[in-house]
Structure 1
Amino acid sequence: MAVHVTWDVAHTACSSKLFADKLAAAGSYPSLEACIAAAQQIWWNEVDVQGWLEAFAAHPEIGDAAALKEKFAAQGQQQAFGQLSQGEQAAALASANPQVFEELAALNKAYKARHGFIFIICASGKSAPQMLEAIRSRINNSPYDELGAAAREQTKITQLRLEKLLAGSSSSSSSGSSSPAERAHVRTGQLVGHLMPGAAAAAAAAPPAGHGGPLRSPITTHVLDTALGMPAAGLPISLLRVMDGSAAVFDCLASGVTDADGRIGNLLPASAWVAPGTYRMRFDTGTYLRACRERHPDVFRAVPFYPEAAIDFSITPDMSSQHFHIPLLLNPYGYSTYRGS
């Protein structure tokens, strides 16, 4: 079912005038999914940095209850924006105490002074402690890195807002609509992309990942230290995916540290389906190799030759019900990978 996008709707979803102009220019889209795909393409390929900063500046600071009330009390489009912002920060506001508000305010001020714009995060479903953890983990990043991080968070916010604002304009049973599990991932900050047309049926009909066994993370990993002949325990790993609509903008979906067997089995929530796309498994080999040097100074360099190993892999729609095991065989001067089982 077609959806109609006005300029006010587009600007409420993302307060960049250039973004709103371009998204509203088409008027109607064949489906909500087509509209979201167009929004992602416009954001990454047609909106410039000034447009990004304009969108960031429209948001109230995380945890700023006074600013939220002010936007909520505004009229017209500003009121709609304020209502969405208040709803997105509801979990954080409900779980915060005066001390948390104070710390958030101080960190927001320090963040803006360092990076030149406010801290942006897709706040839906996140508690105040989660917000604090996020801003602490990002505040010392370079301004360049944070510009990209904020842009990634903004596109998540835009997508959720378009879904809310246009929900009544599109049939919920239309081809390609997101599954309940996928929407849950979005709301908890683990965005893995929209289901592509036909993928929902494929996921429902497919056996659980693991050929009939219990559900598990559809993407797993295992690291073996071939120099020591043992599992690589304590190696930090992150899983990223190219964001929809972009050519090479990766968003971090999950992270973890290998256990005593060199494995991480719970990178993603247990599922029989994984979103198609281009993924990157990033191995923090430098941290692991430096720790190994403390125990084996004759084998490992003081400065690791490979501070990081990044493995990119592509999952096509016809593979989305399969399991993907991405192992790494590592030594101080080399590494290799293959698709495991």
Structure 2
Amino acid sequence: MTASSPTPASPGLARFNALDEAAARAVLSGICAAPSWTSYLLARRPYADAEALCAAGDAATAALTAAGLAEAMAAHPPIGRPKPGDPVSAREQRGMAGAPEALRAEMLELNLAYQERFGQVFLICATGRTAEEMRDAVRDRLGNTPEREAEIVRAELGRINRIRLARLAEAGPSEEDARP
């Protein structure tokens, strides 16, 4: 292959590109629950490579309306309480898994305070973060204005979506993901 030749899509991305629309929609909805985000990505298939897929995800996240952002947020569990039986949620929140009970209780209180202040779940890209880092982040963000917090939430959602899209491009959809 010459330097100017396009690189072929990874096997995972090739599997995603080959899915029918309903199956691809189901996979993307598992990454971000906002229907407008999913539609944006579906309309641009097939993707040549993981970066093109992630760039489309970034653009779709940036284009979310306040309602779309709320739809996306509604699918995220509180930090410290991953969705039961959801390996993605558990993997992303791994930093809370071994946290001492006092820290877990404090995180619950902070989650509730955040939800009361901003009307939504505290969203942070938890991948690779410790329980203490997440606690410190929610403490810091409780002092934000609603406008500033909305900017941070969109950026955090973008990070989460990008990690999930990269994982999709690498491994492809699982059989459970592809079920409509």
TM bin, normalised by shorter chain, reads 0.7 to 0.9
Q: Which residue number in structure 2 is paired with residue 58 of structure 1?
A: 75
Counterpart of 2:153 in structure 1 is 150
Alignment of 1:20 with 2:41, yes or no, is no
Q: Is 1:10 matched with 2:28? A: yes
Alignment of 1:215-234 (within 5 A): none
Q: Deviations over 1:79-121 (max 9, x none)?
A: xxx3211101112212x11111111111110101111111100
Larger-gyration structure (1/2)? 1
Identity among equivalent positions (%) equals: 31
Structure 1: tracts of 5 or more residues without a match: 73-81, 170-341
Query: Separation in 2 of the partners of 1:117 and 1:168?
Result: 31
Alignment of 1:259-298 (within 5 A): none
Structure 1 or 2: more helix by fraction: 2
Instruction: Return the letter of the residue paired with 2:74.
Output: A
Stretches of 4+ aligned residues off by more than 6 angstroms: none
Aligned length: 154
* 2:91 aligned partner, one-letter code: G
Q: Any idea what the Cα deviations from partners look like across 1:225-267, whole Å, max 9, x if unmatched?
A: xxxxxxxxxxxxxxxxxxxxxxxxxxxxxxxxxxxxxxxxxxx
Give the aligned residue type for 1:112: Q
Structure 1 position 25, deviation (Å): 2.2
CA distance in 1, matches of 2:142, 2:166: 30
Measured in 2, the distance between the counterparts of 1:151 and 1:60 equals 16
Question: What is the match of residue 62 of structure 2?
Answer: 44
Deviation of 1:68 (Å)? 2.3
Pairwise CA distance, 1:164: 1.2
Superposition RMSD on alpha carbons, in Å?
1.4
TM-score (norm 2): 0.81
Separation (CA, whole Å) in 1 of partners of 2:75 and 2:171? 25
Q: Partner residue of 1:116?
A: 119
Q: Which has the higher strand share?
A: 1
Q: Does 1:165 find its partner at 2:158?
A: no
Give the C-alpha shift of residue 143 in structure 1.
Answer: 1.1
How far is the alpha carbon of 1:166 from its aligned partner? 2.1
Structure 2 unaligned residues grouped into runs of 5+:
1-7, 18-23, 173-180
- 1:50 positional shift: 0.7
Query: Does 2:68 correspond to 1:68?
Result: no
Deviation of 1:11 (Å): 1.3
Output the TM-score relative to the length of structure 1: 0.44
1:88 to 79, 89, 92: 92
